[in-house]
Amino acid sequence: MIELFYADTPNGKKISIMLEEIKYPYKVTLLELKKGDQFNPKFRSISPFSKIPVITDHENNISIFESGAILIYLAEKSGKFYDKDNRTLINQWLIAQVAYVGPLLGQHHQFHHYTPGKSKWGEERYFKIAKSIYKDLDERLEKSKFLAGNVYSIADIATFPWIARHPIHDIGLKNFTHLSRWYKDIAEREAVIKGFDGLKKGEKIPNI
């Protein structure tokens, strides 16, 4: 049994989607970030930076923090979505997501959506970067069905929940033909539909 320490964020959704994809039994332990659950000493013993997601694999008695590391662990454990012959390319796109796409879109969320009017510099800077991310992903997906080639991988699983925030990006996903095609293809996967609704409250994937 996998225990997923979860909050309803793009990083949390990565892991619930992956667990649905590999069809492993899991239970969700919700952390209410606004209440400070992530700072509980017991949780900090498995998450030194007080961040979600974290998993505990009770079968192997191991806990893993950082979403990219969790995806690699689950991919290696299941033998899925992490082709041995393509790992260098998968790793590049996975790390691009955890180091660049996610953090920079997260800044765009903060300045543009959650605290508009607080910093004109921040709003303009991160809107420009977010638009560039859409363009860069679109250019990649013009050449390749998925981010790391023609086979769906953990790089796509990592990136999808961040693009699923497109309604608050105000960039216009529909204007990016290849990124839109990729988004639609992934949004139709049964496991993605189930995993996106991590709290099982009927949350739907946003349409384009």
How many other β-carbons are positioned within 10 Å of the β-carbon of residue 162?
A: 25
Mean pLDDT score of the chain: 96
Distances in Å between the Cα of 154 and the Cα atoms of 23, 126, 205 are: 15, 26, 19
**Region(s) of the chain under CATH 1.20.1050.10:** 84-189
Q: Which two tokens stand for residue 49?
A: 């930076």
Task: Looking at the structure, give the CATH architecture of the domain made up of residues 2-80.
Answer: 3-Layer(aba) Sandwich (3.40)
The DSSP output letter for 148 is T
Separation CA 55–CA 13 (nearest Å)? 13
Does residue 150 contact residue 144 with C-beta atoms inside 8 Å? Answer: yes
* Residue 113 confidence (pLDDT): 86
Segments of the chain with pLDDT less than 70: none
Q: pTM (2 decimals)?
A: 0.96
Separation CA 6–CA 79 (nearest Å)? 23
How many other β-carbons are positioned within 10 Å of the β-carbon of residue 158?
A: 29
**Region(s) of the chain under CATH 3.40.30.10:** 2-80
Q: Which fold has domain 84-189?
A: Glutathione S-transferase Yfyf (Class Pi); Chain A, domain 2 (1.20.1050)
* Residue 176 confidence (pLDDT): 98
